[in-house]
Structure 1
Amino acid sequence: MAGRSLDDYARLARKEFDHLLAESLEAVERASEANRAAFDLTGLRPARSTRPGPPDTTTKILDRPWAAPIAVGPLAGLARPADEPAVLRAADAAGLPVVVDMVTPDDLAHPVPAGDGPRWLRTYGQREPGDIERSVADAERAGFAALLLSLGSPGLSLGSQGRGRIARPDAPHADWSDVERLRATSTLPLLVAGVRTAADASRAFDAGADGIVTDALDALPDLAAVAGTHRPVLLGGGIRRGADILLSLAAGADAVLVGRLVLEGLIVDGEAGVTEVLGALVRELEEAMTFTGTASIAETRADSLRTGHRPPPRVHPTDTPVGAVGTLRKDDLHPSLSDPVLDTMTFLNEVTHRYPDAVSFAPGRPYDGFFDTEQIFTYLRRYLDHLAAQGHTEQDIRTAMYQYGPTAGQIRGIVADSLRADEGIDVPAESIVITVGAQEAMLLVVRALTAGPDDVLLAASPCYVGITGVARLLGVPVTAVEEREDGFSCADLEAAIVRERARGRRPRALYVIPDHSNPSGTTMDAPTRAALLETAERHGILLIEDSPYRRVSPGTPLPTLKSMDRSRSVVHLGSFAKTVFPGARVGFAVADQQVVDASGRTGLLADELAKIKSMVTVNTSSLSQAAVAGALLAGEGRISEMNAEPAAYYGNAMRTTLRNLDARLPAARRAALGVRWNEPTGGFFLTVQVPFRADNAALTRSAQEFGVIWTPMNYFYPQGGGHQALRLSTSYLTTADIEEGTARLARFIEAQSSAS
């Protein structure tokens, strides 16, 4: 009967459920209680649309158009084959996709009726060898548009004998190895269900997923930050209203899965009931969009939420009792501690120590053959003499060396002079903060610039893992601006800015390493630098310029972004780790931007960074600052001249690596294999593209069987990618190491390519 509401269908369907069916659905629904409570507590903020006409509910997921951001199913709770065609026909008529459930490979023996809408196949872990391959082949033959793998066990589902018969299939639990096997077997888009944390999302994308499904509404902002704009995040569970859909989209979802409502419509009125339920849901979504002034799905904004409410932490039945000590639940610690990014260096160190005889292209550190221990004392004496020459008393000098010193640093003037002499960066000393390495500078800048949950950091991708780690620790979303084969594109940056603002987020800054970047080794050309400054100024964002590799590279570098900056759009980060010595742990931030408070008083961004630093490290080691200052004074601030010999060494190491790679894998052979690499003119790193997944498993095999270590490039993609590329660092190796290491690497690439 037409005209029933969604509540009517829920009430009438309840009467039709037999006891066993009701119990099975209640078990499933319990997983959605937190979502339902959050939906009930969160409202929508009224606004007026700037465009006339009804709102546009259409969207595109995995390059397929949907009439609304709603997928029907999974159909685990629907009898097959008798009832399933009715649901498929109703979904097709509504222009919505359907997720069909498969518990065992035999389920595909019953063909799914073809239709206009996309069909997704939900599958699980497979126990027998060859099951995944057979099910994938059957799915592709049956015309499915995507695969959805559910982590964990299938649980309860309706069997094919008719409504009310419950099957408990003895299917194995799916795990990450199933994701990788499925990805390696099928070219169909792959989504992973059961994702609840940012760490899980990163792991899913690293394993090759094209999208993720979660049942946790409160996790959506974090998951969306990991997924970015090209990989969909779907929410399943608790959806009962059109407003719930818009709330989900505002929280970060791209679409929702609806199963319980469809089942209620089916039980009450068959195909007509499903049609009515889907129609009512879309109409309610339109009403919610009209209420919030949302003209289209693409324009859904986070500020459509009436409050910044996020559901309270879930209470675990196994929570440690009050008064217990010595045991902490990982779930009660900051979510970033479960992020794979924070495990990157630990894993690489473990591999390096486990295989000490392997040639390692992993560590991106300076060659210590240029370090002379006695030179430290020479540098310290040079700085002490400088202080005395400036008229400081013996007590002043003792205080400068033994006490904490000013938070912003005591060698700012010397660093400012060096930047002016060597880089053409002319800023007052007061705009500089001396930090514990450039890593602390990143933390201070990102913390200062991000004021609320809608602020987002952009990063040229692939990017240095340290900036990603800082953002994750601070809970700041990172949006990747992917570099193209021919370098960074300002058009891509502009598109990312526009896209983020359309989502209700505020891009604050772009992190970029213009010279010989880590990890890719690429260098930004002069026209792109000029265009980048213009784009940043026009859109009102800052550029965070990191510059660790300029003065360890041969030749004259292009001007820094900061030296070209005429509108104070650039925060420049630097480090003396590569040029003086890493153990000093001295870096700096140039932050000459004006900060205006509510009363109109102005100051420098550097002052704000110093406030944060006072609560993080208090100050940078006075002894370390003295050693670095002495080195700068000895070289009259010209690090380029001081580092001429090391820069020549690193340049030769890079050329030697490229020459040996070419000899071991000549052009014809690497073309046949599908192998290629870039050719940096300086810096520490280059990137090798390979025809296989260059993941941790491949790295372990490389170290164990071939005696060569490298770094998987997927570590450096904030939103996934780089699965078939590896980073080589050439800085720490001798010529003999490089010759032997490239020979081993070539043998590994040949063997791994053959096995793929």
Structure 2
Amino acid sequence: MSAPAPQPLVTLDDYRTAARGLVEPSAWDYIDGGSGDETTLHESEAAYRRHRLRPRVLVDVSRCDTRTTLLGSTVQLPVGIAPMAFHGLVTPEAELACVRAAGEAGALMVVSTFSGTPLEDLARAAGGPLWMQLYVFRHRPTTETLVRRAEAAGYRALVVTVDTPRMARRPRDLRNGFRLPPGVTPANFGSEISAGLHAGTAGASALGTHAERHHDAAFTWDDLAWLRSLTSLPIVLKGVLTAEDADRAAALGVEAIVVSNHGGRQLDGAVTALEALPEVVAATAGRCEVLVDGGIRRGTDVLVALALGARAVLVGRPVLWGMAVDGADGAREVLSVLGAELENALALCGRPDLASVDADLLRAPQHTTPATPHHF
């Protein structure tokens, strides 16, 4: 008797299940895990389940338009790819697979400082807009060089990660003594920056040790003027979770904010990005664009975020799942699933385009039992 045909992968959870057995276990824990008890990690996804949609009927939804603009660039979906380091952990094509998928889907990609492919190579392969994620290093000339390279290569914005003055304790990585495998390295830097990333120590994370050595924990609001002096690119702050910080960012002329808790990988116990989104949107009062990431697993999740005021969402882990399964094609299919689910949800809610999505689409969040932390 022949073996049954494999079931098609039709949801993001299907891709996660398929990807888990294809990624080396310590790399999987690095990608899948969070900080502390992983409470914020799991609550970030659960937060979307607490919202209910209020569909309207007898609306012409024979065509639903998912296009929008992000800092002036037209995209086909309000779904972009979040910055993630070291795509080579899941596919030999590394970031080139991801940039191909983004271009084919007409989606934004945010390239990580710690890409395993040079930022110029990704720019040449891009079929859509690229933003450059930036960590500020203690050695400021390293940061300056990266900024100037990104602008020269055609990146359209700088995304400054502001929630990582130091890396949080991530128990899975500590237990595994996580380090980068041979052949996976930050391609945008020489040995002076990449040194130590391949050296494992029991009870320590090579990436955590590296961040403590190189990230500039003294970088403050006052230093944004210095960053502005280096480039004409729009500046985006990623990692804002409060109205106070959002108001200050907008007052300083920051062009966009990504509401984010770093995928549950930094401060465990922090609010979820979705919970923080309404106060950030209210505080910015239209002075800058607001995006959100973390916990998005369905097209209806995208719709909830848009109804709460986000201009777009960024997704991270699901794209890596797709690449683990089928390289660039898998990443593109993950984006396609989210796009199809979003378009279907728009139709069923009586919203023919993104401009018609507003807070009236939602009921007040429903109280549910908090997500149970997973202990490993």
TM-score, reference length from structure 1: 0.39
Matched, 1:35 2:44: yes
Q: SS where residue 152 of structure 1 aligns?
A: coil
Give yes or no for contact 1:2–1:276 (8 Å, CA) kept in 2: no
Report the secondary structure of 2:34's partner residue: helix
Instruction: Indicate how the Cα distance of structure 1 residues 312 and 265 shifts in structure 2: closer, same or farther if over 3 A, else same.
Output: same
Question: What residue in structure 2 maps to residue 7 of structure 1?
Answer: 13
Letter in 2 for 1:75: M
CA radius of gyration, larger in: 1
Distance 1:253 1:77, change over 3 A: farther
Correspondence for 1:220: 277
Q: With CA pairs under 8 Å and 6+ residues apart, which has the higher RCO, 1 or 2?
A: 2
- Structure 2 residue 328 is matched with structure 1 residue 308: no
What TM-score, normalized by structure 2, do the two folds share? 0.75
Cα drift, residue 17 of structure 1: 2.8
Which of 68, 73, 85 is the equivalent residue of 2:82? 73
Q: Which consecutive unaligned segments of at least 5 residues does structure 2 have?
A: 1-5, 168-172, 174-178, 186-197, 199-204, 261-272, 372-376
Deviation at 1:51, TM superposition (A): 3.1
1:77 CA drift (Å)? 4.9
Among residues 290, 295, 300, which one is paired with 2:347 in the alignment? 290
Shift of 1:160: 8.2
Partners of 1:118 and 1:159 in 2: CA distance:
30
In structure 1, C-alpha distance between the alignment counterparts of 2:150 and 2:367, rounded to whole Å: 38
Q: Is the 8 A contact 1:49 1:295 kept in 2?
A: no
Aligned to 1:374: none
Deviation at 1:180, TM superposition (A): 3.1
The amino acid that maps onto 1:286 is E
In the alignment, residue 294 of structure 1 is paired with which amino acid?
R
Superimposed CA distance per residue, residues 710-749 of structure 1 (whole angstroms, 9 cap, x where no aligned partner): xxxxxxxxxxxxxxxxxxxxxxxxxxxxxxxxxxxxxxxx
2:137 match = 126
Residue identity in the other structure for 1:213 = V
Within a 5 Å distance, the mapping from 1:170-319 to structure 2 comes to: 170=211, 171-172=214-215, 173=217, 174-215=219-260, 216-229=273-286, 231-305=288-362, 307-309=363-365
Return closer, same or farther for 1:177/1:111 CA change in 2, 3 Å cut-off: farther
* Aligned equivalents of 2:58, 2:280: Cα separation in 1: 28
CA contact (8 A) 2:290 2:309 kept: yes
Q: Which residue of 2 aligns with 1:388?
A: none
Matched AA of 2:93 = A
Determine whether 1:112 maps to 2:135. no
Asked if residue 64 in structure 1 is aligned to residue 73 in structure 2, the reply is yes
Alignment of 1:324-343 (within 5 A): none
**Between Structure 1 and Structure 2, which shows a larger proportion of helix residues?**
1
User: Take 2:14 and 2:342, find their aligned partners in 1: how far apart are those partners?
Assistant: 18
Kept in 2, the 8 Å contact 1:195–1:201? The answer is yes
Residue pair 1:193, 1:214 contacting (<8 A) in 2 also:
yes
CA contact (8 A) 1:210 1:231 kept: yes
1:181/1:311 Cα in 2 relative to 1: closer, same or farther (>3 Å)? farther
> d(CA) in 1 for partners of 2:246 and 2:60?
36
Displacement of 1:225 in angstroms is 1.4
Matching residue's letter, 1:133: E
Distance change >3 Å, CA 109–CA 88, structure 1 → 2: closer
Whether contact under 8 Å (1:108, 1:139) holds in the other structure is no
Could you tell me which of 6, 19, 25 is aligned with 2:25? 19
Tell me, yes or no, if the aligned pair for 1:38 and 1:310 is still in contact at 8 Å.
Answer: no
Q: Match for 1:150 among 161, 181, 185?
A: 161
Aligned 8 A contact 2:86 2:114 in 1:
no
Residue-by-residue CA offset, 1:291-321 (whole Å, 9 max, x unaligned): 211111111111211x211779999xxxxxx
Q: 1:110 to 1:202 in 2, by over 3 A?
A: same
Aligned: 1:88 with 2:94: no
2:98 aligned with 1:101: no
CA distance in 2, matches of 1:13, 1:100: 22
Structure 1 letter corresponding to 2:122: V
Letter in 2 for 1:237: G
Kindly indicate whether the alpha-carbon contact (under 8 Å) linking 1:77 and 1:263 is maintained by their aligned counterparts in 2.
no
8 Å contact 1:79–1:158 — kept in the other structure? no
**2: CA distance between counterparts of 1:87 and 1:137?**
23
- Aligned residue identity for 1:111: D
Q: Report deviation, 1:162.
A: 3.8
Structure 1, residues 484-506: CA drift from partner, whole Å, max 9, x if none? xxxxxxxxxxxxxxxxxxxxxxx
Kindly indicate whether the alpha-carbon contact (under 8 Å) linking 2:134 and 2:160 is maintained by their aligned counterparts in 1.
yes
> What letter corresponds to residue 348 of structure 2 in structure 1?
F
The residue that corresponds to 1:714 in the other structure is none
Q: Structure 1 residues 110, 62: closer, same or farther in 2, change over 3 A? A: closer
Give the C-alpha shift of residue 110 in structure 1. Answer: 6.0
Number of paired residues? 313
Measure the CA separation in 1 of the matches of 2:147 and 2:367. 38
1:167 to partner: Cα distance: 5.4
Contact 1:159 1:167 in 2 (8 A): no
Instruction: Give the match for residue 55 of structure 2.
Output: 46
Partner of 1:161: 183
Q: Distance in 2 between matches of 1:109 and 1:300?
A: 35
Report the identity percentage.
Answer: 34
Q: Is the 8 A contact 2:88 2:184 kept in 1?
A: yes
- Residue 276 of structure 2 aligns to a residue whose secondary structure is helix
| Structure 1 residues 108 and 268, CA gap change in structure 2 (3 angstroms) | closer
- Kept in 2: contact 1:48–1:292 (CA 8 A): yes
Listed as ranges, the gaps of 5+ residues in structure 1 are 316-756
